[in-house]
């Protein structure tokens, strides 16, 4: 039986990772646009590990960290443009396609060597070394498997970042991807100095006032079709301006729609800037919204995915809703 994706296989990749990094002068670490807890936590933790092995590095992300993750240790490392360079190795974290790097992608194209560490179903296969485990609940869990029982010191700061990645990608251990192994990893992170209550408070119990008002708008304006199995809402740019909201204030809104007892597939389509549209897709059970996202150049997990559009939000709504209806009918 193949061992690819198991904790034992992940641990076996550490020597290959060290070999690629050996002799390099400067690394660039990148993660996906609209970063979540796993993207940021994993990227920062890996950056701190690179510090330990003596490799200068920078962390790039197209978008700045959202307010509910601005407390992460060393979050100020995350930049939208590099301040140094050139780089002779790149590491892309928690994304399944180079396009998901957004405006940061050019800094990774044409590098002498590239490493991918991820837990999504691959859309592309970039990387001279690919440490990809779709069995892992979070990229942070893959890093835990790489770092634990090695010569790496998992500092309290690293542990906090890694725990944040696992907590957010498992929905505080509510999602089906929560496993005994992931709970075991978090237990070890607790021993390394993590305060789980503080993470939960910061991530889930700290909301900007514009976000609260935006939540009310979304719940009041959601649309239901397919016998209540499909729920969606469109948030045009003028609503963002009305409430003084930003794109980061939409975090978790798709899950609010999915919490309606009849809903099996949910979407929030928001125009955070004129002509710039992002969609958050969520589903229950076997309904694969990642497949829908890939139709439009996006991606993610079977039950949680994202997509972007340029242009008219009404057209984007028609296209996306039609695809989600087909998803419900065919799954």
* Domain end call among 204, 228, 243: 204
Q: Same domain, yes or no, for 213 and 277?
A: yes
Q: What is the pTM of this model?
A: 0.88
Q: Same domain, yes or no, for 159 and 268?
A: no
> Any idea how long the chain is?
331
Q: Same domain, yes or no, for 82 and 125?
A: yes
Distances (CA, A) of 4 to 123, 133, 176, 182, 306: 18, 7, 21, 17, 26
Q: Same domain, yes or no, for 11 and 132?
A: yes
Inter-residue contact 158 to 26 (CB < 8 Å): no
* Domain end call among 156, 173, 204: 204
Domain count, the chain: 2
pLDDT of residue 331: 63
Q: N- to C-terminal Cα distance for the chain?
A: 29
222-253 pLDDT, tens digit each: 999 999 999 999 999 999 999 999 988 998 89
Which residues touch 134 (CB under 8 Å, ≥6 apart)? 5, 119, 120, 121
Q: Same domain, yes or no, for 226 and 164?
A: no
CATH number of the domain residue 271 falls in: 3.10.310.30
Is 1 within a domain? no
Q: Over the chain, what is the mean pLDDT? A: 94
Is 222 within a domain? yes
- Mean pLDDT for 142-152 is 94
- Mean pLDDT for 178-195 is 96
Is 159 within a domain? yes
70-114 pLDDT, tens digit each: 999 999 999 999 998 799 999 999 998 898 899 999 999 999 999
Burial string for 64-78 (b: 16+ CB within 10 Å, else e) reads ebbbbbebbbbbebb
Q: Is the pLDDT of residue 1 over 50?
A: no
CATH number of the domain residue 155 falls in: 3.90.1640.10
Tokens found for residue 135: 């069995």
**Distance between CA atoms of residues 239 and 231, nearest Å:** 19
Q: Which helix H or strand E contains 168, and what residues bound it?
A: helix 156-169
Tokens found for residue 69: 């993750």
Domain containing residue 123 = 7-204
Is 26 within a domain? yes
Q: Same domain, yes or no, for 232 and 312?
A: yes
Distances (CA, A) of 119 to 95, 132, 240: 8, 5, 32
32-77 pLDDT, tens digit each: 988 999 999 999 999 999 999 999 999 999 999 998 999 999 999 9
Q: Same domain, yes or no, for 101 and 223?
A: no
Instruction: Give 3's pLDDT tier (boundaries 50, 70, 90).
Output: low
* Domain end call among 204, 234, 252: 204
Q: Same domain, yes or no, for 160 and 223?
A: no
Tokens found for residue 251: 């975090």
Q: Same domain, yes or no, for 248 and 179?
A: no
Percent of the chain with pLDDT over 70: 98
């Amino acid at each position: 039986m193949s061992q690819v994706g198991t904790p034992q296989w992940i641990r076996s990749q550490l020597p290959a990772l060290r070999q690629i990094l050996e002799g390099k002068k400067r690394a660039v670490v990148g993660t996906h646009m609209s970063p979540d807890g796993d993207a940021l936590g994993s990227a920062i933790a890996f950056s701190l590990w690179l510090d330990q092995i003596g490799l200068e590095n920078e962390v790039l992300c197209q978008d700045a960290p959202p307010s509910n993750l601005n407390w992460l240790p060393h979050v100020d490392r995350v930049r939208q443009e590099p301040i140094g360079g050139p780089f002779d190795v790149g590491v892309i974290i928690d994304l399944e396609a180079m396009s998901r790097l957004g405006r940061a992608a050019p800094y990774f194209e044409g590098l002498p060597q590239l490493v991918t560490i991820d837990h999504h179903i691959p859309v592309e296969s970039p990387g001279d070394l690919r440490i990809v485990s779709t069995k892992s609940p979070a990229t942070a869990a893959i890093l835990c498997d790489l770092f634990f029982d090695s010569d790496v010191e998992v500092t309290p700061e690293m542990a906090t970042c890694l725990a944040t990645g696992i907590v957010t990608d498992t929905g505080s251990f509510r999602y089906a991807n929560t496993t005994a192994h992931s709970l075991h990893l978090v237990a070890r992170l607790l021993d390394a100095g993590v305060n789980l209550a503080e993470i939960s408070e910061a991530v889930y119990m700290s909301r900007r006032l514009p976000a609260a008002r935006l939540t009310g708008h979304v719940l009041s304006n959601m649309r239901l079709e397919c016998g209540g199995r499909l729920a969606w809402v469109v948030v045009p740019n003028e609503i963002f301006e009305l409430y003084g909201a930003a794109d980061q204030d939409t975090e978790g809104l798709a899950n609010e729609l999915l919490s309606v007892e009849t809903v099996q597939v949910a979407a929030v389509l928001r125009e955070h800037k004129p002509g710039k549209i992002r969609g958050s897709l969520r589903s229950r059970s076997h309904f694969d919204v990642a497949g829908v996202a890939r139709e439009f150049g996006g991606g993610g997990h079977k039950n949680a995915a994202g997509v972007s559009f340029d242009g008219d939000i009404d057209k984007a709504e028609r296209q996306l809703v039609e695809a989600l209806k087909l998803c419900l009918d065919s799954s």
